[in-house]
Amino acid sequence: MKILDNKVALVTGAGSGIGLAIAKLYAKEGAKVVVSDINEEHGKSAVAEIKSAGGEATFVKADTSNPEQVEALIKATVEAYGRLDIACNNAGIGGEQATTGDYSIDSWKKVLNVNLDGVFYGCKYELNQMEKNGGGVIVNIASIHGTVAAPLSSAYTTSKHAVVGLTKNIGVEYGQKNIRCNAVGPAYIETPLLESASGDMKEALTAKHPMGRLGKSEEVAELVLFLSSEKSSFMTGGYYLVDGGYTAI
């Protein structure tokens, strides 16, 4: 028996990178997966990939920074599969690079709107549905920058610290309602977002990890799977790093 058999799982930002790896692993472990992304082409490609491997998935386009679209996403999930057992709020952006005093107001608002407001909207509507189900699990994708600084990215650092705080609050508020909520803090991962970085930048980022390499999306997905399953049944309100030792020094 697979560890997510008979479960319905939702993953935002699942068209590529970490989100795609999570959606594929959920499906491999038996879950029916709703793949959501703002990029329709990537989202549909992810569903095709899951189905070709023998999994069950459907695509729902949504902009997580739009509360009405997030509410509709949860409704579409229930319409497709009857319930919502697991949700991974993964969608996020990096934003511009600038010192805090020079950081543009528009960029600040955009990063907070996607990375924080979007996670809140997801949690809000997921929690309401999970209460109807009688329980569920939420995993929020934060970052190592939920605990340490990311110089020249004050909006990103702020948003990820806030996601950790939101996760803790939910863990406490819903602990007696059979709903668990945890956050994952990846370090720098080999994703399409980093493929555009220069060789020098990638070398500098790699050097910050004592393990001497960047992480892989699949390594993050394994931790998310654990936190999404009954193997982590006594874990809630936590923040767990998968960082190659980045935050240890």
Instruction: Convert the pLDDT of each residue in 189-246 to its tens digit.
Output: 998 767 766 678 889 999 999 999 999 999 999 999 999 999 999 999 999 999 999 9
Over residues 25-47, mean pLDDT = 98
The pLDDT of residue 164 is: 98
Instruction: Convert the pLDDT of each residue in 213-226 to its tens digit.
Output: 999 999 999 999 99
The pLDDT of residue 193 is: 67
Over residues 150-178, mean pLDDT = 98
Strands (E), the chain: 8-12, 32-37, 56-61, 86-89, 136-141, 179-186, 239-242
- Our answer to whether residue 26 is catalytic in this structure is no
Architecture of the domain made up of 8-242:
3-Layer(aba) Sandwich (3.40)
Domain ranges of the chain: 8-242
* Residue whose C-alpha is closest to residue 223's, from 199, 239, 208, 234: 239
Kindly name the residue from 26, 156, 174, 188 that is annotated as catalytic: 156
Instruction: Convert the pLDDT of each residue in 59-70 to its tens digit.
Output: 999 999 999 999
The residue type of 43 is G
Q: What is the DSSP letter of 117?
A: I
> What is the C-alpha to C-alpha distance for residues 132 and 117, in angstroms, rounded to an integer?
23
Please give the C-alpha separations between residue 168 and each of 50, 79, 143, 171, 237, in angstroms, as whole numbers: 32, 30, 15, 5, 4
Over residues 38-50, mean pLDDT = 98
- Contact status, residue 209 vs residue 69, Cβ threshold 8 Å: no
